Chains A and B, each alone.
Chain A
Amino acid sequence: MADIELQGISKKFGPNTALRGVDIDIKDGEFFVLLGQTGAGKTTTLRVIAGLEKPDTGTVLIDGQDATTWNAAERDVALVLQQYSLYPRLTVRGNLEFPLKSRTQNFTADEITQRVERAAETLQITRLLDRKVERLSGGEMQRVSIGRAIVRQPRVFLMDEPLSALDANLRDVLRVELKKLHQELGATFVFVTHDQVEAMSMGDKIGVLDRGKLIQVGTPDDIYAKPLNTFVARSVGTPPMNLVDGVVKGGKAVLNIGGHALSIANSKAQDGQNIRFGIRPEDVLISPDAPAEARIFDVENHGVIKILTLDLDGTHVHATVSAQMKVKIDDTVRFGWKPDKVLYFDPVSGLNLSIQ
């Protein structure tokens, strides 16, 4: 149980800068998700928290204590990796016992057995206890790896894309289990992922990283509804937020492509200002009396919904509609948007103008 604070963490690997002045404040018991592309610095951030990398500058505080110079063992964290990192040639039990058995720990044999069995029960791997880890499936290996983290009751759980190597069904199952585990243990979780669905569905808080910089921290709702810039806007949601350039003219948004005029509900935008309008696919309306016209480029049927790709002279705009709607490729439809859902970004800096 601990809260973690990173202050101005920077890290370079040779000529590559992995982190540029990252500040994060993770509260005790929080499920914190670091979201970002490959190379954004998520894993490096996690390794800095774990004590496996020393930051070039900046401070790591655990429970308010400066832990920058502490090694991994002193920090008392548990780490679950994408590649499981199970100890080969040992059984599942051997792996689960490993963190309890080392010289620095003082557990009695009874205590060890008890803890291992409790962890195995929690993760439903009791029947696998005496099996060699080489003979497990990917999902089972990841459960063991999580089990090895929970036997010790560390202060913080760090997870580096633990679900990415699993197939889709198993990922959904383990996602739910991890959330449940977090609720039961009440411990601090830091979870790294590139998968925005995982981030949205699991996190209490999400931190969006881009090229070594922490762009925005917020609840999933905040990140989704009030993205700080176009990068955050497009990193959550499937399909991603539509961004179209246009001008505000007479209280309406006039798109640069096609010259469609759509109504807006924002009074802050000045007349004649260039704006990059952001609109989520579910806020794009398809109806016969809508103001603009487009050709349907593609239809994806997801059962519950259909995702339409509208073609506006080469620019693609996504719209999610009810699966009942009868549309086919190359149909011409009329579309509009919900004026109150439109976000306004600066076309140059990408910043959200309604937040500034």
Chain B
Amino acid sequence: MPSEVMTRLDPKSHAAAKGMSDLSIRNLFIVPTIVFLIVFNIFPLLYSLGYSFTDFRASTNAPANFVGLQNYRELLNDPFIWKNFSITAKYVLISVTGQVIVGFGLAMLLNRSIPAKGLITTLLLLPMMLSMAVVGLFWKLLYDPNFGIINYFLGLGKFEWLADPDMALYAIAIVDIWMWAPFVMLLSLAGLSAVPKHLYEAAEIDRAGSFYTFFRITLPLVAPILMIAIIFRTMEAFKTFDLAYVLSSQPNTELIAIRLYKMAFQEWQTGMSSAFAYIVLIMVVAITNIYVKYLNKVKAR
């Protein structure tokens, strides 16, 4: 019953004069969006699901043969793919943990009256607004072993940040932390400023130490919004492509998104990569669901 939820069209309006009903105006707004979604999202999603059961290659004219679950079986048995997954897991863990610590720390520092607070906050938010590829490029220059400013300041000589197999992943994570800690900071700041001041005063009166106050009052109240920041950042970190692709091309930094890209557009294994994409999708959905469950639990407490 649209008439019950929708505001009636003013009979004297232009639209009414042109003979449009409430319903046709609603459709005018909604239909293009739905069509767009179907054509560019839902259709490819289902189509690639179909491909994932074939040996289709987009680079040839050979017809696609149905191979059943063979693609999935091969992928899940491939030790290199598992390596990609474990690299990605490590990357997500380092990067998100770093962002939460740095971002929350900055938020704690900013959540008091300091001069030029607005300006400092804006400046701190800048990295987040830059393009991933640009950030990747200039960090590559900063990390450069020959003329990079980081080695110069840290006095590390010709240390190869991005070529060192043990360091490269951390180097990429540092860039990600630099770029996205402000996002965590922004959300944490919103959470922190929502903690009523009188609770801190009550804790002071109750002679609670600052650590006790932090873990008993601040953290529980900021936890839900911090969880949202973590969900966003985990999903993004899981999908990281451009940053890592621009910065390093080592086997030790080959995240699943990069592996997927190579499989689909360099090796042209369209069917196989569709299956791979589906495995990744299921994992992201699963991880997100665990987080959301936990978030609801935090909120309910």
**A87 and B201 in contact, given A104-B207, A105-B207 (Cβ under 8 angstroms):** no
Q: Does A35 contact B (CB under 8 A)?
A: no
Q: Interface residues, chain A, CB within 8 Å of chain B?
A: 50, 52, 71-73, 76-79, 81, 83, 85, 87-90, 98-99, 101-105, 132, 148, 152
Q: Is the beta-carbon distance between A85 and B199 smaller than 8 angstroms?
A: yes
- Contact status B198-A81, CB under 8 Å: yes
The answer to whether B204 and A73 have CB atoms under 8 Å apart is: yes
Instruction: Assess A98 versus B198: contact at CB under 8 Å? Given A87-B217, A88-B220, A88-B221.
Output: no
B297: min CB distance to chain A, Å? 12
CB-defined contacts of A98 to chain B, threshold 8 Å: 203, 206, 208, 216
Q: Find out whether the CB atom of A103 lies under 8 angstroms from the CB atom of B202.
A: no
Produce 1/0 per residue, B205-218, CB < 8 A to A: 11111011000110
Query: In the complex, how many residue pairs between chain A and chain B have their CB atoms under 8 Å apart?
Result: 66
Contact A102 B206 (CB under 8 A): yes
Closest to A104 in B: B207
How long is the Cα–Cα vector from A152 to B206 in the complex, in angstroms? 8
> B196: which A residues are within 8 A, CB to CB?
83, 85
Q: How far is the CB of B191 from chain A (nearest CB, A)?
A: 13
Q: Is the CB of B212 within 8 A of A72?
A: no
Given contacts A88-B220, A98-B216, contact A79 B209 (CB under 8 A): no
- Whether the Cβ atoms of A103 and B209 lie closer than 8 Å is yes
Question: Considering the chains assembled together, what is the distance between the CA atoms of A81 and B208 in angstroms?
Answer: 17
Q: CB distance A89 to B205 under 8 Å?
A: no
In the assembled complex, the CB of A270 is this many whole angstroms from the nearest CB of chain B, namely 54
Cα(A78)–Cα(B205), bound, Å? 6
Which residue of B has the minimal Cβ distance to A134? B301
A85 with B198: CB separation less than 8 A: yes
Question: How far apart are the CA atoms of A76 and B207 in the complex, in Å?
Answer: 8
CB distance from B113 to the nearest CB of A (A): 13
Shortest distance from the beta carbon of A70 to any chain B beta carbon, whole Å: 12
* B216–A77 touching, CB < 8 Å: no
Interchain CB contact (< 8 A) of B212 among A78, A101, A132, A152: A101
CB of A103 within 8 A of CB of B204, answer: no
8 A Cβ contacts from B272-301 to A = 301
